[in-house]
Amino acid sequence: MRTTILGLGNTLLGDEGFGVFFLQKLVDKYDFPETVQLVDGGTLGYGLLDTISACERLLVIDIIKSGDRPGSLYRFTRAEMELRLPPPTSAHEVEFLDVLYKAEMMGRLPETVFLCITPEKYGGQMEIGLTPAMYEAFPAMEKIFFQQLSHWQLTVQAKKSA
């Protein structure tokens, strides 16, 4: 089964880039099976339609403005995410849900799971890198990430040090 791991966010807006920063950490630390594709989705929106339509399972890593403490982690199915999602506050949030709807209309919507984190800082000011709360959440997010992979019966190997 083809699985896509998709990191979303704008790395020029600090914590909003969490999905992309976390994805890069995974790429640096682990070797994934050939059936797993890791994609830096950034803020591509509709540019992701072909990628999403080509897989059977989609694991999305992104932020969610939940009002909870910064660094709070969540796992949602697509249906749960639609119920939980607050009104969109950035263009990539609007477009990504639209992309999923388009894939569904085409009959090519994969099983979709979201792993999300509450940002400490959100939107507005250009800032490269994450706040300490986001970096501190990496190990806990990694644990949830691997639980999902295990549920899908996928295994990865730690990269051998050079």
Q: Which domains does the chain possess?
A: 3-152 (3.40.50.1450)
Q: Please tell me the predicted confidence (pLDDT) of residue 85.
A: 61
Reported as type and span, the H/E element at residue 142 is helix 138-151
Pairing of strands 3-8, 36-42: parallel
- How much is the mean pLDDT over the chain? 89
Buried-exposed string 71-89: b where 16+ CB fall within 10 A, e elsewhere: bbbbebebeebeeebeeee
Rounded average pLDDT over 113-136? 88
Residue 156: the pLDDT is 96
pLDDT greater at residue 101 or residue 25: 25
Strands 111-117, 73-77: pairing kind: antiparallel
Look at residues 54, 49, 48 and name the one whose alpha carbon lies nearest to residue 35. Answer: 54
CB 51 within 8 A of CB 125: no
**C-alpha span between 122 and 14 (Å, rounded):** 8
Amino acid found at 40 = D
* Model pLDDT for residues 70-95, shown as the tens digit of each residue: 999 999 988 887 776 655 555 445 57
